[in-house]
Amino acid sequence: GTGTGTGGLMARMGVAKDGDANRTIFTEIVGGKARLRQDRPALVISSTSWTPDEDFSVLLDACVDVDTQVRDGRGNDNGAASSFPHVVVIVTGKGPQKEMYEERISRLQLEHVSIMTMWLEAADYPLLLGCADLGVSLHTSTSGIDLPMKILDLFGCEVPVCAIGFGCLDELVVDGKNGRVFSTSTELAGLMLELLGSFANISSARSDGTTNRATGELERLRKGIRGMTRWRENWNESAQDVIIGACPLWKNTTTGLGNSSGDGTHHQTDDGHWDPPLGLKLAIFFCFFFFFYWLTRHFML
């Protein structure tokens, strides 16, 4: 991948460019045990398909705003830029606009923020997410009713998310409980400064030589993620009665053709015709709908 400012960051943190067996910019070995460095950067993760559906300039502008405010001493309540952590932003994914944004990233002159782009193998992606302190989602739903899978990935690793707001987002991200919602790059910059501003205490050492991953507001949001309703509970509470209630009544019988399950039930109406469940009917409908939509777009445009 490509990025900005990582070489200087490694030098400042005493890590050789060709690698160091005892430390990275995030971790170090002390007493034979690996732990987070108390002076480590904050790690912010975002993933994108680099398409016009996601305006990635929102994140870049926010990073510039954060860098400017920290450099001017506005990143902390005490006005000290030195206590605000260096922020490493890693953007994963590939797509048609990646090179355009990489060129723009390469021209940024940032002191307190480093931005890197990379493409990860499937097995490495959850490992990176699990290391993150904060996630950023720029997904805006075209239909207004689909939720970003990237947020679910981050929540699965207990990583709080700053997400750009749209119609049904509150079904997943509850502002102030498991994440934060923003509309503009200025709002995103303010949230990053707020959530990462107390980062000096995030990696406080424990007596056993390990370190806390997060404290303060980030940890409170993590607890909100842990308290979220899981899939099975949500299915039982919100969907089961609706979906099963929409299925047709099945005719009970103990014998006869069409009893494919062997439990005395089959999909028949009173006149003996097979009646597919509602879910199958909907699946067939949408298959034909998208097929004819594709034909129309392909042959008539």
Nearest to 117 by CA among 97, 88, 90, 150: 90
> What values do phi and psi take at 221, rounded to 5?
-70, -35
Q: Is the pLDDT confidence value at 36 over 80?
A: yes
Q: How far apart are the first and last CA of the chain?
A: 38
DSSP string of 232-264, one letter each residue: HHHIIIIIHHHHHHHSPPPEE-SSSTT--SSSS
Confidence (pLDDT) at 82:
59
Q: Is the pLDDT confidence value at 9 over 90?
A: no
3-state secondary structure of 103: helix
User: Is-contact 231 209, C-beta < 8 A?
Assistant: no
Nearest to 43 by CA among 123, 129, 117, 108: 129
Q: What is the pLDDT of residues 69-81, one digit of tens each?
A: 999 886 555 444 5
CA 299 – CA 274 distance, rounded (Å): 36
β-strands 33-36, 27-30: how paired? antiparallel
User: 237 is written with which tokens?
Assistant: 């509470």
User: 27 is written with which tokens?
Assistant: 């971790």
The highest-confidence range among 28-32, 84-88, 251-255, 259-263, by mean pLDDT, is 84-88
Give 107 or 146, the one with higher predicted confidence: 107
Give 62 or 36, the one with higher predicted confidence: 62
Other beta carbons less than 10 A from residue 75's beta carbon: 25
β-strands 33-36, 134-137: how paired? unpaired
CA 75 – CA 62 distance, rounded (Å): 13
User: Is-contact 259 265, C-beta < 8 A?
Assistant: yes
Tell me the average pLDDT across 255-282.
Answer: 52
Under DSSP, the state recorded for 106 is H
Confidence (pLDDT) at 263:
43
| Angle formed by the axes of helices 185-196 and 216-226, nearest 10° | 100
Q: Is the alpha carbon torsion for 27, 30, 35, 37 positive or negative?
A: negative
Q: Is the alpha carbon torsion for 94, 96, 99, 104 positive or negative?
A: negative
User: Is-contact 198 216, C-beta < 8 A?
Assistant: yes
List all residues 6 or more positions away from 254 whose beta carbon is below 8 Å from its beta carbon.
264
Tell me the average pLDDT across 267-283.
Answer: 60
CA 45 – CA 128 distance, rounded (Å): 8
Tell me the average pLDDT across 8-22.
Answer: 72
Q: Is the pLDDT confidence value at 258 over 60?
A: no
Quote the percentage of the chain above a pLDDT of 90: 40
Nearest to 13 by CA among 124, 120, 80, 88: 88
> Helices (H), strands (E): how many in the chain?
10, 10
The pLDDT confidence band at residue 138, using thresholds 50, 70 and 90, is very high
Give 101 or 273, the one with higher predicted confidence: 101
Tell me the average pLDDT across 102-109.
Answer: 93
CA 139 – CA 151 distance, rounded (Å): 9
User: 99 is written with which tokens?
Assistant: 């090179």
